[in-house]
Structure 1
């Protein structure tokens, strides 16, 4: 599954250098402005986050970086990530991120520490994901853009505490505006440490 690839990058174990081509949205990296918010339509439901945490992880050794955002609101949680394999400047390129370079997960929630109704972006290994994250404005401290995607329920449960889980959930009209983020840079040489191979004893 494509999403497992990005999970590896998030753990900084599987962050390998791959070539990536993507349509550019704007050659100018405009500064995000206005209020900070994140909202979307989850099916027929109009959703807006009330708690947003974001981080940009820069890995100079691999020449890449990854942006992660977790947004919670209205007993729903959305986790998104984008990855760049040819940029470690600390500022995301304004472009469309999809396929191997975009990731989203959606959860129903019933308390601060309990989440339910796990969804995946593809129903089986033969399907192509339609998740798309577009960065429209970017600086070294904040980011703005849009997102969309279709999710399929992967848990066997269909209902919990009176809440019905849909089989398919389509996210549309997704917008994140002027989201501040923490920047974490992995020190150069951290991932490039080579250990001497031990002698084999015959």
Structure 2
């Protein structure tokens, strides 16, 4: 395990073959109301059972040579965060056209939904590939993040199908409904990367005195 630079904060960045130990969160200080759901999820032990179902697929996707792409080893860091911009961008654009684009934008919105759903597949696979590298309690938030994204993907796909069948109003409704779990999943993803610094990266980054370093707090 890498040592911590004296001037840098401790962070939680799981690496291949250098997985942080599992711990249980200790709630010492209050958080803003909007941040409390993620903290609650970190203590949600029921998510561990769902996580065990994901573990075999996660390990399969993280094996060589797939790991060069699923874990971003070719890039030196996780590829999943970058890929999330694709479905989020396409889906958000489609919903925006539904709201302000008028009848002339219907075809474009449908195409954006289809492309967004297709791009969500590799995005989801790279996220699942990282899951087994994530220790508790962060893995519980990751499980909820994956579940919410799965719901959003199904709803957006249903929106696309409804439009293809001429049920445009139903498609719009499904798209708007899908935006709710998609947004919630994005908030949890921000918690994982921004607060807990979860993400695969090359161990060489621990040796350049820039950080953040990989270590659990000792007290």
Q: TM-score, normalised by structure 1?
A: 0.24
Instruction: Point out the structure with the larger helix share.
Output: 2
Higher RCO structure, 1 or 2 (CA under 8 Å, sep 6+): 2
